[in-house]
C-alpha cells in the first residue's frame, strides 16, 4: 500500500489500483478505504504486455454518482456540502460522494477585498450554497455562497445616501487614496485630496494605515458601477473660507520653516496651514538661506482658496524696507531739484538781465542745494554704517549664542536637560511637543505606549519611533 495506490495480488501477478480509481469520492490515502490483506473485487482497466503492467479499478464496479444525481438538484436550489479542496481560484464542495461543485472565489463574498479562498473557507468546513449552473453530462456544477444573502448594493442609495456619515475599516492604500470597507461587500474610495483641509498629503500612509477605523461622509454614489466616493475632511467646515480673510495678499505673518529644498521651503503658518516660499523668496538679509525649525516673518504674495495654496516670501520683507529707504532719499533729491528749477524759472521771467543781487541769490540757492545733497549723502552713509554695525552685532550675538550652547553642552551632567537639547528638536518642534502635553524631559520620560499612540493619532508627523528615540536619549542625559 502506497500513497498513490495499492498493489493487488491477482494470483502470482500484481496489478496497480490507483488512488483515483478506488472511490468516486475524494480520498487522501488508500488506507481510508482499504487495508492490507483485504480481499476485493476489481476491474481490469488496462493491460500492457510489454511493460507487464496491469491497471485495476474498484470504483468502476459501481455506477457513477453523477448518473444517480436526483432530479431535485437543479439550478437555483440550495445544497449543503463539505469543503474537500481549496485552490487559488476557489473551493470544491462535495455534495454527495463523488459529486462536487466549484465555488469560485468571486462567488464566496460580496466583498471585493477577498482575494484568496483560504481566507474564507478551509478543508472540512460544512457550507451551504446555491446551485448557479449544472451540466450533468459534463459532470460540472457551479455553486455560490454570497447569493444566500442579499446583495448590499440593491439598497445602497437609501442606506448610504449623499451626505450621510459612517465609519469603516481601512482595507487598502494606494498612491491616489485609500479604500474603506463600510460593511462586507460595501467599500468606497477616499481620495488623498479628501483627507485633510490643511495638510498637503502626498500618500495616505502619512495620514492612516491598514486596519485603522476612519469616519467619513458619502460624497457620491454610483450604483451601476458599484462605486462610492467618500470624504474625511468634509466632516469639518472648510476653513479656507476663513483663511481667505486672514492670509490676504500683502499681509505679514510669522511662520516656521518645516523643510528646505532646491525649489523652495515649506512653511508652517498659523492654524496648522502649510505655505510655500519659492527659492527666490527664502534669502535672508544677511544673504544666508533659512534652515529647518527657523521662525521668521513672511509676506503673503499669492492665495488660492480653490487650490488651497498659499505662496509667501521672506525676502520681500527686508527688500521692501530697503526700497522704502531708497525711495525716501530719491524723494528728497527730487524736491530739492524742483525747488531750484522753480526759482531759476521765476528769475528768468522777471528780468532778462541778471543783477548782482539775483546772481547772489542763485549762488546762495546753489550752495543750499549742494548742502542738502551733502546731508542726504551723509544720511545714506550713516545708514550704511548702521547696517554694518547691526550685522556685526548680529554676528557677535550668534557667536555668543554658539559659545553659550557649547558651554551648556559641556556643563555638568547633573544640570537640568531641556527638550531643545534633544536631537532634531527646534523651536517649532518644541511648540508641537508642548501642544501634546510634553513640556520637559521629565514629561518625556513618563510617557507610556498608550500615551504615545494617542499623541501619534493627534499629530501623525511625529512617529512612535521618534518618541521612543527621544525617550531613550533623555534617559542618557
- In a 13 Å sphere around the CA of 115, the CA atoms on its Cβ side amount to 3
* pLDDT above 70: residue 20: yes
**What is the DSSP track for 79-105?**
EEEEEEEE-SSEEEEEEETTEEEEEEG
pLDDT recorded at residue 345: 63
Q: Poorest-confidence range of 152-166, 252-266, 343-357?
A: 343-357
pLDDT recorded at residue 428: 81
Distance, first Cα to last Cα, the chain: 73
pLDDT band of residue 425 (cuts 50, 70, 90) is: confident
* Residue owning grid cell 505655505: 275
Which helix H or strand E contains 301, and what residues bound it?
Answer: strand 295-304
pLDDT recorded at residue 321: 62
pLDDT recorded at residue 412: 41
Q: In what order do the strands lie in the sheet with 53-57?
A: 5-9, 14-18, 53-57, 43-48
* pLDDT above 50: residue 410: no
| Pairing mode of beta strands 186-191, 126-135 | unpaired
pLDDT recorded at residue 327: 54
pLDDT recorded at residue 408: 46
Residue scoring higher pLDDT (195 or 404): 195
Task: Read off the pLDDT of each residue in 361-375 and give the average, rounded to a whole number.
Answer: 64
The predicted-structure confidence for 82-106, as pLDDT tens digits, reads as follows 999 899 899 999 988 888 899 999 8
pLDDT recorded at residue 353: 47
Q: Poorest-confidence range of 92-96, 154-158, 415-419, 455-459?
A: 415-419
**What is the set of domains in the chain, with CATH numbers?**
5-61 (no CATH), 65-148 (2.40.50.140), 156-235 (2.40.50.140), 240-313 (2.40.50.140), 326-409 (no CATH), 419-475 (1.10.150.20)
Residue scoring higher pLDDT (388 or 31): 31
Please enumerate, as own/partner, the contacts of 473-476 that have beta carbons within 8 Å and a separation of 24 or more.
473/422, 473/423, 474/417, 474/422, 474/441, 474/444, 474/445, 475/445
The predicted-structure confidence for 167-213, as pLDDT tens digits, reads as follows 999 999 999 999 999 988 899 999 998 998 877 788 999 999 999 99
The predicted-structure confidence for 224-246, as pLDDT tens digits, reads as follows 888 999 999 888 887 887 888 88
Q: How far apart are CA 25 and CA 33, in angstroms?
A: 11
Mean pLDDT across the chain: 81
Question: What share of the chain has pLDDT > 90, as a percent?
Answer: 25
Q: Number of helices (H) and strands (E) in the chain: give both, helices first.
A: 8, 19
* pLDDT above 50: residue 346: yes
* Residue owning grid cell 459529486: 99
The predicted-structure confidence for 369-398, as pLDDT tens digits, reads as follows 567 667 656 666 666 655 565 665 566 666
Nearest to 143 by CA among 70, 202, 79, 231: 79
Amino acid at each position: 500500500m502506497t500513497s498513490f495506490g495499492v498493489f493487488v495480488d491477482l494470483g502470482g501477478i500484481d496489478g496497480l489500483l490507483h488512488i483515483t480509481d478506488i472511490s468516486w469520492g475524494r480520498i487522501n490515502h488508500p488506507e481510508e478505504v482499504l487495508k492490507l490483506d483485504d480481499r476485493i473485487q476489481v476491474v481490469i482497466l488496462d493491460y500492457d504486455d510489454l511493460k507487464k503492467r496491469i491497471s485495476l479499478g474498484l470504483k468502476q464496479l459501481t455506477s457513477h454518482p453523477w448518473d444517480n444525481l436526483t432530479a431535485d438538484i437543479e439550478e437555483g436550489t440550495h445544497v449543503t456540502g463539505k469543503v474537500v479542496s481549496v485552490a487559488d481560484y476557489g473551493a470544491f464542495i462535495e455534495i454527495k460522494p463523488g459529486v462536487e461543485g466549484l465555488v469560485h472565489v468571486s462567488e464566496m463574498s460580496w466583498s471585493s477585498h477577498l482575494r484568496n479562498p483560504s481566507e474564507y473557507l478551509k478543508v472540512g468546513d460544512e457550507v451551504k450554497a446555491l446551485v448557479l449552473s449544472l451540466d450533468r453530462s459534463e459532470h460540472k456544477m457551479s455553486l455560490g455562497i454570497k447569493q444566500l444573502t442579499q446583495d448590499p448594493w440593491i439598497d445602497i442609495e437609501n442606506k448610504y445616501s449623499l451626505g450621510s456619515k459612517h465609519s469603516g475599516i481601512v482595507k487598502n492604500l494606494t498612491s491616489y487614496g485609500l479604500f474603506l470597507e463600510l460593511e462586507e461587500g460595501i467599500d468606497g474610495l477616499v481620495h488623498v485630496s479628501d483627507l485633510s483641509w490643511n495638510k498637503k498629503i502626498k500618500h495616505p500612509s502619512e495620514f492612516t494605515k491598514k486596519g485603522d477605523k476612519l469616519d467619513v461622509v458619502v460624497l457620491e454614489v454610483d450604483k451601476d458601477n458599484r462605486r462610492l466616493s467618500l470624504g474625511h475632511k468634509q466632516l469639518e467646515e472648510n476653513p479656507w473660507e476663513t483663511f481667505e480673510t486672514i492670509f490676504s495678499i500683502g499681509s505679514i505673518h510669522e511662520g516656521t520653516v518645516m523643510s528646505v529644498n532646491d525649489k523652495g521651503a515649506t512653511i508652517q503658518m498659523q492654524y496648522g496651514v502649510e505655505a510655500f516660499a519659492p527659492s527666490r523668496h527664502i534669502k535672508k538679509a544677511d544673504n544666508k538661506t533659512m534652515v529647518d525649525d527657523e521662525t521668521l516673518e513672511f509676506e503673503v504674495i499669492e492665495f488660492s482658496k480653490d487650490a488651497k495654496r498659499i505662496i509667501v516670501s521672506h525676502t520681500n520683507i527686508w527688500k521692501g524696507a530697503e526700497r522704502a529707504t531708497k525711495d525716501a532719499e530719491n524723494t528728497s533729491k527730487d524736491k530739492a531739484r524742483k525747488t531750484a528749477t522753480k526759482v531759476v524759472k521765476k528769475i528768468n521771467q522777471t528780468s532778462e538781465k541778471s543783477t548782482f543781487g539775483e546772481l547772489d541769490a542763485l549762488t546762495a540757492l546753489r550752495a543750499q542745494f549742494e548742502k542738502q545733497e551733502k546731508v542726504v549723502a551723509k544720511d545714506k552713509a550713516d545708514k550704511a554704517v548702521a547696517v554694518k554695525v547691526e550685522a556685526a552685532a548680529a554676528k557677535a550675538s550668534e557667536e555668543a549664542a554658539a559659545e553659550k550652547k557649547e558651554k551648556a553642552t559641556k556643563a555638568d551632567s547633573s544640570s537640568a536637560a531641556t527638550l531643545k537639547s534633544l536631537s532634531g528638536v527646534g523651536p517649532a518642534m518644541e511648540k508641537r511637543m508642548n501642544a501634546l502635553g510634553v513640556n520637559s524631559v521629565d514629561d518625556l520620560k513618563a510617557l507610556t505606549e498608550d500615551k504615545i499612540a494617542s499623541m501619534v493619532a493627534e499629530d501623525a508627523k511625529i512617529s512612535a519611533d521618534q518618541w521612543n528615540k527621544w525617550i531613550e536619549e533623555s534617559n542618557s542625559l
